Amino acid sequence: MVLATQLTSAQVDSWLKRLAVEAPLDKEGRFVFLGPVHTTRTGWVVRARCAEGKEVALRLLRPELAAEEADRELFLAWAQACARVEHARLARLLEAGSLLTADNFELLFAESPWVGGATLKHMLQGRGQGLPAEQAFHVVGQVAAALAAVHATGVVHGELRPSLVVLDRKQNATLIGLGVPPRLRRRTELLGFGAWATAPWAPPERLASDGETVEPNADVYQLALLAYEAFAGIPYPRWTAPDLLSDMVDYMPLAMDELLQKCLGDPDLRPASALEFLAQLRDVEAGYDQNVRDRKARNKVSGKQLKEWAETLLEQTYPPYELVLSLAQKAKAQRGLLSLSSSLERELSELAHRAQAGLRQRLASTFKKLLEDRDFTAAQSFLDRVAEELPGEEVVEHYVRLERERAQATPGKTPEAVKALLGFLKKPELSFAARLTVVEALESLLGGVVVAAPVGFVKPQGKLQVVETFRVQDQPVTVVLGPVMRLGRGSFTQFGNHVDLAPPLEKVAEDSALLLLAQSISRAGHVEFRIGAQGLEAFCLGTHGITLDGVTLARGESAPIRLEGSLVVARGATKGVYRLVQSPEGEVLALWVEFAEGVAAGKKALWVLQRLPLSLLHPEVGDCGLADPTPEGWVVEATTSGLRLGGLPLEVGVRRVWQPEEKLVLPGEVEVIREGV
């Protein structure tokens, strides 16, 4: 017999993979293997059939967690406490003990009924949206009731999440997987089988504790995350501003947002147990039913109320910064509907800034702990999850640090680290600064100089559009984001051209020669400015060619872009000039193109790769500020006085979102309006 003290998880893994369906799991023949095997941090969950012919779920504990007699006794005592919990919506623990396998392995096990059906996680992924509100209240209420029964016996679940909630055909929920004692879960972390402290469902206080003592309010935190996902259909965002459920779900009262906010902050502010959470959830449900009867689909709340709400959250020991950011953004968005004072706008901007700084600090602290524990696998998994919410630009520095420290800790991993870092250089959306960070890391690993293409671009996402029109002194300027700017005779919708070089119909009707010239320009793109292997280049797509800086290019040929130069399209159909703008550090910011002759005379276009210097919009305004493309939209920052946005002065250093149809006034009273797509 191989005792748990001599056994390894790798041996158990190998044995389980060799098991055939209907093979006995133990020498006594009590359990028959039915498969499949689900691997967890603490062991394995196996579908089996017991001697009575019923299907059961066997949780097999990793042998490393039962190496000490004290740990074995702790697990069995925990299982005994769990066995006392009974509730109709809970897969209760039936039995626990020691199992001698057919391969003479001694393993600790816990037996529960096998619960058939789809998990809540699987159902939400299949729907692509949240459950209907009435059904979500029903499911979350059943889970909370089952969890209340668990808490009543002094047990804490510890790992509540949608994948551990199974729904039957009548949409009734059953909570499964009571897990293991907190001390063994902590041992799991120390042994490198997976970090619980940084798991998506771990409460914020877990990072500052030893993890060996867990209170019921930790389950309440996880219950709030589960509730959000049930109603919203997506996991609760931990690193970006979540949409409030009262905004997402018709008739949902603000009390739902208030309940979740209490649960997601400091432990002592949460409902003390699942029973208290359930009572408050029922009050919210009653408010929802009343709103349905009153046909009150939306809630009215002022910007001042939202600001005060956000300020209260910031006073906590573990502020839910993502909620603060959400409230500040919601209040600022009211500017288009309601009049906000300039002082309130400044306060909201400051709140948003503090929330973003808090999120960055929380990210850095969490990542730092994983590196200190030398848990590189968990650190990689953590960054991958964060990158699902944040642009790669914001986490690349952490990825670089991970690869450097992993390579230093294990020299044999250097080739893998180099390969991973080179992969980042292939991502064109990374900024110039991020690329330099990657290059410096490669140089330190390789001991040499690495040459990388220094051109990055901002990927259109969130509220950004690929193509917009800015009206400068009532004259249109096409603004393009992304890795390429294509010019041709036709619209973006029809032919994929970001800039339409076709002349107005009224001019064509008056001048047949103009029509002939226009027809020589290819519809689906004649020329495109793009990021090439050696930097920015112009690429000819049209059959009638282009001339760039005096060099004629046929279809399929390209040439590098200079700091400024000339462009002739389709043998003279239209002629223009271009100018490249860089930062003092050499980072490419934007490309300006203006046509002076031919079919496109008077047309202007801006290809913004990183930031838009406002001086490009009009020759008389000077270096007065920048417009940054962000997921929240275009954000304007003044570097000199004299700018106004939406009728309000824009102070130096202050950043504000530039809303569509909002007027931006530059020095010299130059007016710019975002017309949108």
Dist CA 325 CA 293 (whole Å): 32
**Is 441 inside a domain boundary?**
yes
Alpha helices in 200-336 (DSSP H): 216-232, 245-248, 254-263, 274-294, 303-314, 321-333
The answer to whether residues 222 and 205 touch, using CB atoms and an 8 Å cutoff, is: no
Strands 106-113 and 95-100: antiparallel
Dist CA 617 CA 624 (whole Å): 11
Cis amide bond preceding 36, omega within 30: yes
Which one of 51, 81, 114 terminates a domain?
Answer: 114
Q: For residues 443 and 4, which has the higher predicted lDDT (pLDDT)? A: 443
Q: Is the dihedral of CA 621, 622, 626, 627 positive or negative?
A: positive
Which one of 602, 631, 658 terminates a domain?
Answer: 602
**Is 382 inside a domain boundary?**
yes
pTM for this prediction: 0.68
The letter for the amino acid at 401 is R
Q: For residues 271 and 444, which has the higher predicted lDDT (pLDDT)? A: 271
From 263-277, 436-450, 459-473, the region with the lowest mean pLDDT: 436-450
Position 202 scores a pLDDT of 85
User: 3-class SS at 673?
Assistant: strand
**Is 236 inside a domain boundary?**
no
Position 380 scores a pLDDT of 85
Task: Give the tokens for residue 498.
Answer: 């970001």
Task: Give the tokens for residue 482.
Answer: 């992304």
Full residue range of the structural domain in which residue 367 is found: 363-446
Summarize the confidence of residues 403-428 as an average pLDDT: 80
**Is 94 inside a domain boundary?**
yes
DSSP 345: H
What is the total count of domains within the chain? 3
- Answer yes or no: do 426 and 530 share one domain: no
The answer to whether residues 156 and 85 touch, using CB atoms and an 8 Å cutoff, is: no
Share of the chain above pLDDT 70, in %: 95
**Is 129 inside a domain boundary?**
no
- Answer yes or no: do 491 and 589 share one domain: yes
Residue pLDDT, tens place only, 173-230: 999 988 788 888 888 877 878 777 678 888 888 877 777 778 899 999 999 999 999 9
Task: State the Rg of the chain over Cα.
Answer: 31
Which one of 602, 624, 643 terminates a domain?
Answer: 602
**Is 608 inside a domain boundary?**
no
- Answer yes or no: do 508 and 399 share one domain: no
- Answer yes or no: do 380 and 489 share one domain: no
The answer to whether residues 21 and 35 touch, using CB atoms and an 8 Å cutoff, is: yes
Dist CA 44 CA 438 (whole Å): 39
**Is 170 inside a domain boundary?**
no
Residue pLDDT, tens place only, 78-108: 999 999 999 999 999 999 999 998 888 899 9
Query: Other CB atoms closer than 10 Å to residue 89's CB: what's the count?
Result: 18
User: 3-class SS at 600?
Assistant: coil
pLDDT band at 429 (very low <50, low <70, confident <90, very high): low
Query: Other CB atoms closer than 10 Å to residue 546's CB: what's the count?
Result: 25
Residue pLDDT, tens place only, 310-356: 999 999 999 999 999 999 988 888 755 455 677 888 888 899 999 99
- Answer yes or no: do 520 and 595 share one domain: yes
**Is 160 inside a domain boundary?**
no
- Give ∠ CA 503-506-511 in degrees, rounded to 5: 75
Beta-bridge mates of residue 629: 634
The chain-wide mean pLDDT, for the chain, equals: 88
Q: Is the dihedral of CA 669, 674, 675, 677 positive or negative?
A: positive
Q: The domain spanning residue 93 has which CATH number?
A: 3.30.200.20
Position 677 scores a pLDDT of 56
Nearest to 139 by CA among 178, 172, 170: 172
The answer to whether residues 116 and 68 touch, using CB atoms and an 8 Å cutoff, is: no
From 16-30, 181-195, 458-472, 585-599, the region with the lowest mean pLDDT: 181-195
Position 338 scores a pLDDT of 53
Beta-bridge mates of residue 663: 673
Query: Other CB atoms closer than 10 Å to residue 277's CB: what's the count?
Result: 29
Q: Which residues fall within 8 angstroms of residue 562, CB to CB, at 6 or more apart?
A: 549, 580
Q: The domain spanning residue 508 has which CATH number?
A: 2.60.200.20
- Answer yes or no: do 433 and 492 share one domain: no
